[in-house]
Each structure stands twice: as structure tokens, then as C-alpha cells.
Amino acid sequence: MRRQIRIFAGSSEAGGAECLHPVILRLRQNHYHVYVIAGDNANHVFQNRGFSPDKKANHTECAQLTREVIDQFKPDAILSGILGSKDNIDYSLIRLAHERQIPVLSILDSWMNYGDRVFDPVTGKRNGLLPTRIAVMDAFALKEMTAEGIPPEACVITGHPKFDTLQAVLDRRQNSVEKKSVLSRFDLSSDQPIIVFYSQPLSKYYPSKYFGYDEQDAIDLLFTAFERIHKAVSATLIFKEHPRYPSLSGTVKAPQHNFIYETAADSDDLLVIADVIVSMSSTMLVFAAALGIPIINLQPNLRRDRDPNIMTRSGYCNPVTSLEVLCQEFHRLLFAADSSSLSQVPSWLNADGKVSERIENLLNNLIGERDLL
């Protein structure tokens, strides 16, 4: 009888949970023993999916808790995110994996900041927090990662695990009963076009105007354009706040009508009802494009040499940089007879529904390699 494989999985952040959730479900369905630890932001995503982690931990306790669980659980491998602050669950797991010589597979959640993810500020080593392997979304990301000094032999292209869940989101979008159910939670009707903006606190992570703009510039432009067009198209704007840091400051006046500010809404629910997705560089733009939802890449005064947005960086579409163009885009997309025909899935996305399967196989290979040592 085959021994049950033990996997310790965890992340502190929402992006990590979005990556881990479909993989954890597959592993448990295939009879792996998976122990899951989550921080507050990750736990919120898990809860929205109807999933409960085995342990919740904040930043001050995650290093000790992950150590205790590893000592008791004795995992064959570790599965983590690779994002957030360097004292969170993700990096506590990577450090412990190094210390205990346990293979660790970290799943990349987005197309940016590759080199910083593996830099260790404690030792100063460029690749000091490099996992045994990184599950990478596609060849485009791999090319950018290796250009930033990450060893190609540490990377395996698997696709993004979120892609395994998109068919279910698409089914919900096309189910009128399900769509009305989600709309009712926001007190909206099916005849109202929905614009969803995913915010990002860029100024918290980068020098002032590093990209040529910050979140306040983008939000100000968004709100001004929405005030101009919302009556003509009867649209509602849902502002989805970032889970880590708020970005809507008191210096920018929010729209007075047809405006919903959300901190806790489930990202999948918003994908179900959105007619247009707007963001500066959020990964949600990629998922929206994969679903055929029209997207607007809002990057006023963008410095092209520092573009943080994979959709514009890859040449898939152009950034929107001015009020005039933003208003034109809103009118074009919201007046379209069939908005789903306006977006084509990027050719470089690996969205075949088998990402979690590939990650499971990769974990097994890592365990097999360790057993041969």
C-alpha cells in the first residue's frame, strides 16, 4: 500500500491563496495529507472559497508556528507562495525548508518583481530565498525571471493555478440566475453595466512616481472619467480595495453616485458580474482577459522602461494614459453589443485546466529526488 504523502502548504497573502487553493483541493482529492497554514489575507480568500485552513497565523507568530508544525507534521515537501514581506508565512516556510533540507515548491502569483522575491535581506544574498523549484506561469515570465538573475534550472513552467478555476467562473458568468444572485449582494440589477477597478498601493512599495504615476494619479483619472460617463451609460463603478494596504486616500474625491467601495468582496464574484475590468497592473487583468472580459490598463504618464503591467509589457494591448482616451474606452466597451467578443485570450497563457496536475507531478518529482539522496 502506498504511503500517504505529507505536504505542508501555506501563504500569508491573497495572491498566494489564489494559487494554493486549487492545488490543495487536487492534492486532497488524490489522498495526500495536506496541512494548510494561512495569514489573514490568505484566509479571507480561503473563506470565500468555503475552505478552512488548519492553522491561522499573523506575522508576529508565523515563524514559530511554521517551525512547530514542521516538527510535528514532518512533511515530505512544502508548498508555498512567494510574495509579501520577508517575515511572513511564505518566507518562513522557504527558510525552514532550507534549514531542514525539505524540498519546497513555491508558486509564482504574478508577472512582476521576480528578483526581489528571492532576495534575502537578512544575508544580503541575491538568491538567498530561492526555493527548490518555482512554478512559473509561462515562457514570457520565465524569460523575464532569468533576466533578473533567477537560475532557469530552479523554474518550471506549469501555468497559473488560477486558470484551473476560470471555467467555473465563466459558467457562472453565463448563468443568469447565478449572475443575478451575485448582483443582488451589491443591490444591483442585471441592466446596469458594471465597471470593476482593482486597486494597488504602488506608493507603498516603490519610490514616488516610479512608474511615472502612482495609485492616486490613476484613481483620480478613473473617478473623473466615471463622473463624465456614468449617466450616459448608466454604469456602476465597484472599487475593489487592495487586501494589504488601502489606496483610496482622502485627497481624491470619490464619485457621489453609482459607486461601491469594497474591501471584502470575493474576486471571483466580481469577475462574474464585471462588464469591464480596470487596473494599473493587477493580475486580475490577466484573468479577465482569459475570460474574455474587456480590460482597461490605466497607467497615466507611464514610463515604458518601468512598465509593471504584463498585458502592456507583452504587447497584448496599450496602456490608457489620458482622460480623453479613458472616456472613449468606457463608451466603446460599455456600448458594445457583445462585450465578450472584444477580448482575445493572450496566446502566451497556459490555461488548459491542467496546471494543478502539473504542480502535483512536480511535487512528486521533488520528493523522489530527495529520496534518492
Q: What DSSP assignment string belongs to 142-204? A: HHHHHHTT--GGGEEE---GGGGGHHHHHHHHT-HHHHHHHHHHTT--TTS-EEEEE---GGG
Report CA 79 to chain centroid distance, whole Å.
17
Q: What is the pLDDT, as a whole number, of residue 352?
A: 80
192 part of a folded domain: yes
Q: How many Å apart are CA 185 and CA 191, to the nearest integer?
A: 15
- Domains in the chain, number: 2
Residues 366 and 307 in one domain: no
Q: How many Å apart are CA 279 and CA 292, to the nearest integer?
A: 16
323 part of a folded domain: yes
Q: Which three cell numbers stand for residue 194?
A: 458594471
Q: What is the pLDDT, as a whole number, of residue 341?
A: 44
Q: Which three cell numbers stand for residue 248?
A: 483610496
104 part of a folded domain: yes
Tens-digit pLDDT profile for residues 223-282: 999 999 988 888 999 999 988 787 776 666 788 889 999 988 999 999 999 999 999 999
1 part of a folded domain: no
CB 16 within 8 A of CB 90: yes
Rounded to the nearest 5 degrees, what angle is found at the Cα of 150, between the Cα atoms of 11 and 7?
Answer: 35
Residues 201 and 307 in one domain: yes
Residues 88 and 137 in one domain: yes
CB 226 within 8 A of CB 195: yes
CB 108 within 8 A of CB 134: yes
Q: How many Å apart are CA 225 and CA 217, to the nearest integer?
A: 12
Q: How many Å apart are CA 256 and CA 160, to the nearest integer?
A: 38
Burial class (CB in 10 A: 0-12, 13-18, 19+), 152: exposed
Rounded to the nearest 5 degrees, what angle is found at the Cα of 96, between the Cα atoms of 93 and 100?
Answer: 135
32 part of a folded domain: yes
Rounded to the nearest 5 degrees, what angle is found at the Cα of 307, between the Cα atoms of 273 and 293?
Answer: 20
Q: What is the pLDDT, as a whole number, of residue 1?
A: 47
Collapse the DSSP code of 310 into the 3-class scheme (helix H, G, I; strand E, B; otherwise coil) and give the result. Answer: helix
21-42 residues labelled b (16+ CB within 10 A) or e (exposed): bbbbbbbeeeebebbbbbbebb
Q: What is the pLDDT, as a whole number, of residue 340?
A: 47
Residues 177 and 325 in one domain: yes
Amino acid found at 209: K
Residues 81 and 211 in one domain: no
Residues 94 and 140 in one domain: yes
Residues 293 and 168 in one domain: yes
Q: What is the pLDDT, as a whole number, of residue 232?
A: 84
Beta strands 104-107 and 77-81 are parallel
Q: What is the pLDDT, as a whole number, of residue 344?
A: 61
Q: What is the pLDDT, as a whole number, of residue 59?
A: 78
Residues 196 and 138 in one domain: no
Collapse the DSSP code of 344 into the 3-class scheme (helix H, G, I; strand E, B; otherwise coil) and give the result. Answer: coil
Tell me the residue range of the domain where 363 lies: 6-160+351-372
Alpha-carbon distances, residue 347 vs 80, 139, 170, 286, 344 (angstroms): 27, 11, 19, 12, 9
Residues 150 and 92 in one domain: yes
Residues 196 and 231 in one domain: yes
Q: How many Å apart are CA 58 and CA 203, to the nearest integer?
A: 24
215-250 residues labelled b (16+ CB within 10 A) or e (exposed): bebbbbbbbebbbebbeebebbbbbbbbbbeebbee
Residue labelled with grid coordinates 520565465: 142
Q: What is the CATH number of the domain that holds 238?
A: 3.40.50.2000
Residues 100 and 231 in one domain: no
pLDDT in tens, the chain (373 residues): 467 899 999 999 999 999 999 999 999 999 999 999 999 999 999 999 999 999 999 878 888 999 999 999 999 999 999 999 999 999 999 999 999 999 999 999 999 999 999 999 999 999 999 999 999 999 999 999 999 999 999 999 999 999 999 999 999 999 999 999 999 999 998 888 999 999 999 988 899 999 999 999 999 999 999 999 988 888 999 999 988 787 776 666 788 889 999 988 999 999 999 999 999 999 999 999 889 899 999 999 999 999 999 999 988 889 999 999 999 999 988 876 444 444 566 766 767 889 999 999 999 999 988 766 5
Q: Which three cell numbers stand for residue 306?
A: 518601468
Residues 17 and 91 in one domain: yes
Closest CA to 14 of 248, 270, 242: 242
Predicted TM-score of the model (pTM): 0.91
Q: Which three cell numbers stand for residue 156?
A: 518550471
